[in-house]
């Protein structure tokens, strides 16, 4: 009888600890900075060592502590990036647009910000007002199936952005129109499933959407990855797919359930290197 009571107490404590860690600690305090070096053959020499901060999936409107946003801004400022990119799912609610725009405005005071939208930005009903407000910000560029030129020294590269592939809004052919074939192209897309049509057309893909699984049981595949079956392997990290690199970011926020477990929120620092340097 005593053993059973102790077992129940221990089980209750474990449940409380799991809830506290997954709801409060990991989503808000366990933000990690991941440095990723990507070597590109045709990278202009002027861009050797170029640092891109890659953020994704903040999901403003889902439960989180404001401290999370302050920590992210502080860490990004310390990194001193050359460029910041944001690969969608900015909000989960149209009522949180102002909060999200204020956060991005602060990011834009650190470095120029390039943004694409994700499925939640649309399903929340926030896309129109979000686009309007983001496009009015200084030092912020929203890419919707188009591109922008980034210059450094006497060289340039192309930042290409497609609308959300998960909801079939992407048009990569349109986005790549008029870009010189041999130029360096970095593609921003919310969902990694864009890799199916991006290989051989761009040098690097930066994506999010998966949350790294969000809830991961050690030594077991993530419980849920919102991707078509053939793309479920692209949960998190750097991949080389038929000559094209892709980095999938775990993102910063949560969706459906306001918890993270063994899938800490991340800030990725993509360091471009010229192959052979």
31-45, 138-152, 223-237: range with lowest mean pLDDT: 223-237
- pLDDT tens per residue across span 28-63: 999 999 999 999 999 999 999 999 999 999 999 999
As a CATH number, domain 2-274 is 3.60.21.10
Cα distances from 248 to residues 194, 198, 217, in angstroms, run 11, 14, 19
DSSP 257: S
User: Which pLDDT score is estimated for 224?
Assistant: 85
User: Which pLDDT score is estimated for 160?
Assistant: 99
Annotated domain spans of the chain: 2-274
**Residue linked to tokens 């290989």:** 199
Contact 89, 59 (CB under 8 A): yes
Name the average pLDDT for the chain: 96
User: Which pLDDT score is estimated for 184?
Assistant: 98
Cα 250 to Cα 36: distance, rounded to the nearest angstrom? 14
Please determine, for residue 212, whether its predicted confidence score (pLDDT) is greater than 90. yes
User: Which pLDDT score is estimated for 99?
Assistant: 98
Assigned token pair, 133? 């407000």
| Banded pLDDT at 158 (limits 50, 70, 90) | very high
Mean pLDDT score, 107-131: 98
């Amino acid at each position: 009888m005593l053993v059973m009571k102790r077992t129940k107490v221990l089980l209750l404590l474990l449940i409380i600890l799991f809830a506290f860690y997954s709801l409060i600690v990991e989503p808000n305090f366990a933000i990690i900075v991941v440095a990723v070096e990507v070597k590109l053959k045709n990278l202009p020499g002027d861009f050797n060592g170029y640092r891109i901060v890659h953020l994704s999936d903040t999901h403003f409107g889902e439960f989180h502590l404001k401290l999370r946003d302050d920590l992210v801004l502080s860490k990004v400022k310390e990194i001193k990036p050359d460029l910041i990119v944001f690969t969608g799912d900015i909000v989960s609610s149209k009522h949180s647009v102002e909060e999200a725009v204020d956060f991005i405005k602060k990011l834009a005071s650190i470095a120029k910000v390039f943004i694409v939208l994700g499925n939640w930005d649309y399903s929340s009903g926030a896309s129109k007002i979000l686009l309007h407000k983001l496009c009015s910000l200084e030092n912020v560029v929203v890419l919707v199936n188009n591109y922008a030129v980034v210059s450094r020294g006497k060289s340039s590269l192309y930042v290409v952005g497609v609308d959300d592939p998960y909801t079939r809004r992407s048009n990569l052919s349109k986005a790549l129109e008029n870009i010189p074939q041999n130029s360096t192209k970095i593609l921003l897309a919310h969902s990694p499933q864009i890799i199916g049509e991006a290989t051989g057309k761009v040098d690097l893909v930066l994506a999010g959407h998966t949350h790294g699984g969000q809830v991961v049981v050690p030594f077991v595949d993530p419980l849920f990855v919102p991707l078509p079956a053939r793309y479920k392997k692209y949960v998190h990290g750097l991949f080389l797919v038929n000559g094209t690199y892709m980095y999938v970011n775990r993102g910063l926020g949560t969706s459906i359930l306001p918890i993270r477990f063994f899938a800490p929120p991340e800030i990725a620092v993509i360091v471009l290197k010229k192959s052979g340097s």
